[in-house]
Amino acid sequence: MGEWAGSAPVLEEEVALANIALDLLGQARVLLSLVGDEDELAYLREERSFRNAQLVEQPNGDFAHTIARQLYFSTYQRLLYGQLASGDGPFAGLAAKAVKEVAYHQDHAEHWTLRLGDGTDESHHRMQRACDALWRYTGELFQPVEGIDVDRAAMESAWLASVTDVLGRATLTVPEGPRTGAWAAGAGRQGLHTEPFGRMLAEMQHLHRSHPGATW
């Protein structure tokens, strides 16, 4: 998301996209700090040790791709944090704060899905193409993750209902393809990623790795 800075379609989106990126980075820092040193975990692990879902490592693409990715992911995050916040597990406090942020992200993604889907012919076409392209990465979001106790089946049906509703209102068709595949099914969670991810890490980690032991 940080890659959008300086390239957004309108100034208001410069603010909005940076704001979302900043919220997500804040959430990442809290989560990483629960496990260890945030910088060590972010900068010194290699590709095979990262456990992120493949959806979030997909390139920004055009604005429609970014919005489709955000729609799928923020809808999932809102359900996940909603469940975690209402429980008494180790993530309840973090989730209670994060759920407010991701509600904003979901609202933002929904509004843009409506504008692009139900805008011009070109924007409709682009939005549909983006929704189709990212569909196959959405099944992974509902694979079990060790240590996170939530009702994934309930989340998945709520997610499908919500996304189906938004796409329908945006005059878009719910993609027909599979939501998981032999490779994508939970693969990111096992450290199996897509090709763009290694290059993203190379850029992100280069400076930190060039100065071992330095503080910034």
Q: Compute the CA torsion angle 15, 133, 107, 23 (nearest 10 deg).
A: -50
The pair of three-digit structure tokens given for residue 14, joined into one six-digit string: 């410069």
Stated length of the chain: 216
Measured between alpha carbons, how far is residue 23 from residues 69, 94, 140, 199 in Å? 16, 12, 23, 23
**By CB under 8 A, residue 44 contacts other proteins:** no
**By CB under 8 A, residue 45 contacts other proteins:** no
**Per-residue mark of binding to other proteins, 55-94 (x: CB under 8 A):** -------xx-------------------------------
Closest CA to 65 of 138, 141, 126: 126
Q: Report 94-153 residues binding other proteins (CB under 8 A).
A: 108, 111, 114-116, 118-120, 122-123, 126
162 with 103: CB under 8 angstroms?
no
- Residue 134 beta carbon to other proteins: minimum distance, rounded to whole angstroms: 18
The pair of three-digit structure tokens given for residue 205, joined into one six-digit string: 């980690």
* One residue of 44, 154, 161, 207 binding other proteins per CB under 8 A: 207
Q: Between 89 and 119, whose beta carbon lies closer to other proteins?
A: 119
* One residue of 15, 34, 154, 161 binding other proteins per CB under 8 A: 15
**By CB under 8 A, residue 3 contacts other proteins:** yes
Q: Between 42 and 160, whose beta carbon lies closer to other proteins?
A: 42
Q: Between 38 and 143, whose beta carbon lies closer to other proteins?
A: 38
| Alpha-carbon gap, residue 104 to 111, rounded angstroms | 11
Stretch that binds other proteins, among 148-156, 172-180, 188-196, 197-205 (CB under 8 A): 197-205
Which ranges of the chain would DSSP assign to H, the alpha helix? 11-35, 38-43, 63-86, 92-117, 121-135, 152-169, 196-210
| Alpha-carbon gap, residue 115 to 184, rounded angstroms | 30
**By CB under 8 A, residue 203 contacts other proteins:** yes
Return residues touching other proteins (CB under 8 A): 2-3, 5-15, 18-19, 21-22, 25-26, 28-29, 32, 38-39, 42-43, 62-63, 108, 111, 114-116, 118-120, 122-123, 126, 200, 203-204, 206-208, 211, 213-216
